[in-house]
Amino acid sequence: MNPKIFFLIFNITLIILACILFFKMNNDYGKVLTGDNWQAKQYGNKYIVSLNNRSEVVSTLTDFVKTQKINVGTISGLGAVNSATLRFFNPETKQYVDKTFNEQMEISNLIGNISTKDSNEYLHIHATFGNSEYKAIAGHLMSAIINGAAEFEIEAYPNAKVERKFDSEIGLNIYDFGAKK
Ligand code: FE
């Protein structure tokens, strides 16, 4: 082959490869999703979820999980709220104690999991809130109203199944994998 033609083909190939690489590096493959009080970007089985200001965290995340048909997964997030209701379970009495905090707080950490109970999506969320005195309030999250940012990540486990069952001895809805005890 004529060396000039060889170098021409070589250079064109290099330019095409560079263009493909540039396109891949700059191509955001995230799919934009929207719903009631939330918007999200989907990257495979991972989602970046933003909740609208003044929305309620637990019901809005539940709506997201239901519309995306996520039966098993993990949740993490941060943001700010002006009200939060936390639940404490007393294992001795098997009684719940709920307490509402009406003040501006940072969601300094929120962690949760998604499973099903009676085949319905079941979100179990715990959260730590930091108040204006930099003190932490933490517990099982019943509800919270966003007042500021609301940035969550959800990872789904496609085709997974994790059911819960009420355990009368413990007094809670516990994972039931069907394993013999
Ligand atoms: Fe809990």
CA–centroid distance, residue 33 to ligand 1 (Å): 29
Is 87 a domain residue?
Answer: yes
Ligand 1 center from residue 63 Cα (angstroms) = 19
Give the residue-averaged pLDDT of 135-149.
Answer: 98
* 38 within some domain: yes
Q: CB–CB of 116/129 below 8 Å?
A: no
Q: Is the pLDDT of residue 144 over 80?
A: yes
At 85-106, the pLDDT tens digits run 999 999 999 999 999 999 999 9
According to DSSP, the residues that pair with 107 across neighbouring strands are 79, 129
Residue 102, beta-bridge partner list: none
Q: For residue range 69-90, what is the model confidence (pLDDT) as tens digits?
A: 999 999 999 999 999 999 999 9
Any domain includes 21: no
Does the residue 85 lie in any domain? Answer: yes
Report how far ligand 1's centroid is from the alpha carbon of 2 (Å). Answer: 74
Q: How remote is the CA of residue 156 from the centroid of ligand 1, in Å? A: 20
CATH code of the domain covering residue 86: 3.30.1330.80
CB 56 within 8 A of CB 145: yes
Tell me the C-alpha distance between 26 and 24, whole Å.
5
Would 132 be classed as within a structural domain? yes
Does the residue 75 lie in any domain?
A: yes
Residue 70 lies in a domain: yes
Residue 160 lies in a domain: yes
* Total tally of structural domains belonging to the chain: 1
168 CA to middle of ligand 1, Å? 16
Residue 35 pLDDT: 97
Q: How far is the CA of 54 from the centre of ligand 1 (A)?
A: 24
Q: Is the pLDDT of residue 139 over 90?
A: yes
Q: Which domain holds residue 171?
A: 29-176
Q: How far is CA 46 from CA 19, 30, 54, 140, 158, in A?
A: 28, 10, 25, 24, 10
Q: Which pLDDT score is estimated for 116?
A: 97
Cα(142) to ligand 1 centroid in Å equals 9
pLDDT tens per residue, range 16-64: 898 788 877 778 889 999 999 999 999 999 999 999 999 999 999 999 9
